Homo-oligomer: A and B are copies of this chain.
Amino acid sequence: MDRLASRVAIIGAGPSGLSALRAFSQAEKNGEKIPEIVCFEKQNDWGGMWNYSWRTGVDEFGEPVHSSMYRHLWSNAPKECLEYGDYSFYQHFQRSIPSFLPREMIRDYIVGRACASDVQKYVCFNSVVRHVEFVADQKHFTLRFHNLVTGKNKSENFDYVIVAVGHFSVPNVPSFDGIDSFPGRILHSHDFRDARQFTNQNILVVGGALSAEDIALQTYKFGAKSITISYRTKPFGYGWPPEIEELPLLTHIDGRTVHFKDGSKRTIDSIILCTGYKHHFPFLTEDLQLHTENCLYPDQLFKGIFLQRQPRLAYLGMQKFYYSLPFFDAQAWYLRDVILGRISLPEEEDRASDIRLWRERGKQLSGPSEVDLLAAAAMFKLGRVHKQENILEFRDKLFTSPFTGTPSVANPICWIDAKDDRIL
């Protein structure tokens, strides 16, 4: 950390990669000298996860499809919880809008800030990073990448590497006894695209987190006959409509019949595995890979960013997050200041103590409502109360921007009846 880094690689131009680009470009705008930056983006556009694709499995280049978005996804927390501090929703849309937004509007907002910064010049699109290793005797990283359009491979050296590839892209897909002879459709939420494919079906949703909750709601909204949610730990316990029920974990599958721990069984047409995602970095050498479950403070990352055994490798956005966009900004600005030499990282042992301290504190939290980020946190908590009050109406509630004081305005149509993905 003792010299100004001359070359920085950013892997991914999704929300966290774009925060990093914004952080550097703001410094440059203020007359500061910044290192040479190259951002490698596998897709042909920026926005990462927010780029909806009708494709599933592998894409037109044989690469695994990155996006896990479905057509009718809406945000599951008020937009006021994920507003950028330096670029408000009002500034972007030039009008007051509702608090809960469809996918396309959130993408428009994220990409809008990127366009307003002069950062596109840093991004190599259609470029997938195949291999990164640290060359110890030369004290740099060698990064090999592949251009999907030209078919060319190239290697370049960098002083810092920022891994901003997200962690909601590579599905965690468990198996169950008898699943290999289930005749119906089996898919992971990663491959869920349009709820209308499940109209009139009896659906099994496996999982106890946000995907399970929202995909159950989606399939209900678009006319599934019945939805059974199977949980491992505990039920959501919302005031579900009668078409949605919660049962403990499935034990085995026999033809179309799914059996559950409590002895009950259901006849199922399609199984949707909402069983989470992996932190997956096959393009990094073993010593550079982060191994973690989805949690608030992954081990081996100082300040949640710098890899303990090689702090010139930084990860952005690898946490379980509640305030995604401003959280990426906070990480990106800190990271930038380290790379610019404004902040010095402590010695290895002190970093280790700091990691231990924060992981201990994290363990004492019982849930997201205890993470306090002032106004945003208060709204986030209120959103959760609304959900408990009425799971079908929580997205019609209105909040006020903590940055600009702009109040939201109501949708002309409530969420349960809004069945296209237009911009509101």
Contact = CB atoms under 8 A, between A and B. Distances in A.
A170 B54 contact: no
Interface string A55-71: 11111101011000001
Given A62-B280, A170-B62, A54 B196 contact: no
Contact of A152 (B146, B280, B286): B286
B54 A187 contact: no
Interface stretch (A3-11, A77-85, A95-103, A175-183): A175-183
Given A71-B183, A130-B131, 5 more contacts: A54-B179, A58-B170, A58-B173, A183-B196, A186-B193
A56 B191 contact: yes
Contacts of A280: 62
Interface residues of A, number: 45
A183 B194 contact: yes
A122 to B, nearest CB: 25
Contacts of A131: 130-131
A312 interface: no
A344 interface: no
Number of copies: 2
A99 B278 CA distance: 45
Interface string A275-290: 0001010100110000
B54 A180 contact: yes
Contacts of A282: 62, 130, 146
Given A184-B194, A196-B184, A171 B130 contact: no
A153 interface: yes
Contacts of A180: 52-54
A185 interface: yes
Contacts of A174: 60
A188 B57 CA distance: 9
Contacts of A286: 151-153
B183 A59 contact: no
A91 to B, nearest CB: 29
A42 interface: no
Nearest to A287: B153
26 contacts: A53-B180, A54-B186, A56-B57, A56-B186, A56-B187, A57-B57, A57-B58, A57-B64, A57-B187, A57-B188, A57-B190, A57-B191, A58-B170, A60-B175, A62-B64, A62-B170, A62-B171, A62-B278, A62-B280, A71-B183, A146-B282, A153-B285, A183-B194, A183-B197, A186-B193, A197-B270
A193 B187 CA distance: 11
B197 A57 contact: no
Contacts of A179: 54
A179 B55 CA distance: 10
A59 B173 contact: yes
A320 to B, nearest CB: 19
Which 4 pairs between the two chains have the least Cβ-Cβ distance?
Answer: A183-B196, A62-B170, A54-B180, A57-B57
Contacts of A130: 131, 282
A219 to B, nearest CB: 13
Contacts of A53: 180
| Most chain B CB inside 10 Å of its own CB: which residue of A146, A151, A152, A197 | A197
Contacts of A270: 197
A109 to B, nearest CB: 21
A285 B184 CA distance: 40
A259 B171 CA distance: 35
A171 B184 CA distance: 22
Interface in A140-184: 146, 151-153, 170-171, 173-175, 179-180, 182-184
Given A151-B286, A153-B285, A190-B57, A185 B197 contact: yes
Contacts of A62: 64, 170-171, 278, 280, 282
